[in-house]
Amino acid sequence: MPEQKVVIDVGDGAAIPTKKDHGLLSAWRIAFFGAVLVLLYLVIVHPDPYWNLLKFIRDGVVVTFEVTFASIGLALVLGLFTGLGRVSHNRFINLAASTYVEVVRGIPLLVQLFYIYYALGQFVRVPDMLAAIIAMSFCYGAYMGEVVRAGIEAIDKGQREASVSLGFNEVQTMRYVILPQALRTILPPVGNEFIALLKDTSLVSILAVSDLLRRGREFASESFAYFETYTLIAVVYLIITLILSKLVGTMEERMGNHVRH
């Protein structure tokens, strides 16, 4: 009897609540509504410092989303080309894409941030925000590349054979047949990586980027309210992450229903 291969797929993003996972969905409700109630309690009952802090970090929330969306956009472009390179039959292209994935995924994101901002900064001065976006997109581009590769390889080989029989060349097959179907497969894990990237933007505060965490640190250093500051920062991050994880879960369910119908 052949041994059955079991694949355990655990990402570094948020747990995605779906209707089929009742335990996780219930936990999401408890966490989300609990976090919202805690936030409301803090800013209403203790407006000083929590309400003042919430107003102080508003622009930091905006910067966090700016870095996140810019980075995920570039990471998707890098991931698309990397994924195509990973499945390419050209040995040089395949080797280049594979090396990029192995090297980048082997270096911690914090080290990459330091390297681009400080090490390369000795030769080319990179603005704080741009350095953060480059480092985040360069790092997550490698992860996106593996997501794209897995999505392409998940498509049945018969699809490729059928398109060839219709007269499509390799590029046309990939563009019109493989990638549109792979898109449905990779969207949920891409959403998961998006959430993971948003959480990792907290690291860009070390580059003097005025993100959510950086603004919180500035408030704490002025008021010495460290416990209150980091409590509120944690709650805000939690609420944002939970909202995004629910959106990804809803998207995954709708795509699953679309595929079945």
Place of tokens 């209403």: 44
Confidence of residue 13 (pLDDT cuts 50, 70, 90): low
Q: Considering the domain boundaries, does residue 92 fall inside one?
A: yes
Checking if the pLDDT of 237 tops 50, the result is yes
Q: In this predicted model, what pLDDT tens digit does every residue of 155-194 receive, in sequence order?
A: 877 777 777 777 777 777 787 778 888 887 888 788 888 9
Q: Considering the domain boundaries, does residue 112 fall inside one?
A: yes
141 touches 80 (CB < 8 A): no
Q: How many CB atoms lie within 10 A of CB 252?
A: 18
pLDDT of residue 15: 67
**175-179, 197-201, 215-219: segment of lowest average pLDDT:** 175-179
Checking if the pLDDT of 149 tops 70, the result is yes
Q: Is 57 helix (H, G, I), strand (E, B) or coil?
A: coil
What span, in angstroms and rounded, lies between the C-alpha atoms of 93 and 159? 24
Confidence of residue 1 (pLDDT cuts 50, 70, 90): very low
pLDDT of residue 232: 96
pLDDT of residue 5: 44
Checking if the pLDDT of 261 tops 70, the result is no
Q: Considering the domain boundaries, does residue 6 fall inside one?
A: no
**CATH assignment at residue 184:** 1.10.3720.10
Phi-psi region at 237: left, alpha or beta (left = phi > 0; alpha = psi -120 to 50): alpha
Using alpha carbons only, what angle is made at residue 53 by residues 47 and 54, rounded to the nearest 5 degrees? 85
**CA–CA distances in Å: residue 69 to residues 66, 82, 158:** 5, 19, 36
Checking if the pLDDT of 6 tops 50, the result is no
Place of tokens 């797929």: 9
pLDDT of residue 160: 73
Mean pLDDT of 84-103: 93
pLDDT of residue 20: 72
pLDDT of residue 4: 44
- Indicate the residue type of 127: P
Q: Considering the domain boundaries, does residue 14 fall inside one?
A: no
pLDDT of residue 8: 38
Place of tokens 């070390």: 206
**Domain count for the chain:** 1
What span, in angstroms and rounded, lies between the C-alpha atoms of 80 and 78? 6
82 touches 140 (CB < 8 A): no
Q: Considering the domain boundaries, does residue 17 fall inside one?
A: no
Q: In this predicted model, what pLDDT tens digit does every residue of 28-63 receive, in sequence order?
A: 899 999 999 999 999 999 999 999 999 999 999 999
- Indicate the residue type of 231: T
Q: Considering the domain boundaries, does residue 95 fall inside one?
A: yes
Q: 26 or 34: which carries more pLDDT confidence? A: 34
**Which range marks the domain in which residue 144 is found?**
22-260
Q: Considering the domain boundaries, does residue 171 fall inside one?
A: yes
pLDDT of residue 257: 58
Alpha-helical (H) ranges within 57-168 are 58-86, 91-105, 109-114, 128-153, 157-165
Produce one character per residue of 134-155: b if its CB has 16 or more CB atoms within 10 Å, e if not: bbbbbbbbbbbbbbbbbbbeeb
Alpha-helical (H) ranges within 201-225 are 212-223
pTM for the whole structure = 0.84
pLDDT of residue 118: 85
Q: What's the mean per-residue pLDDT of the chain?
A: 86
Listed in sequence order, the residues at least 6 apart from 47 whose beta carbon sits closer than 8 Å to its beta carbon are: none
Q: Considering the domain boundaries, does residue 60 fall inside one?
A: yes
Q: 242 or 122: which carries more pLDDT confidence? A: 242
The DSSP call for residue 18 is: -
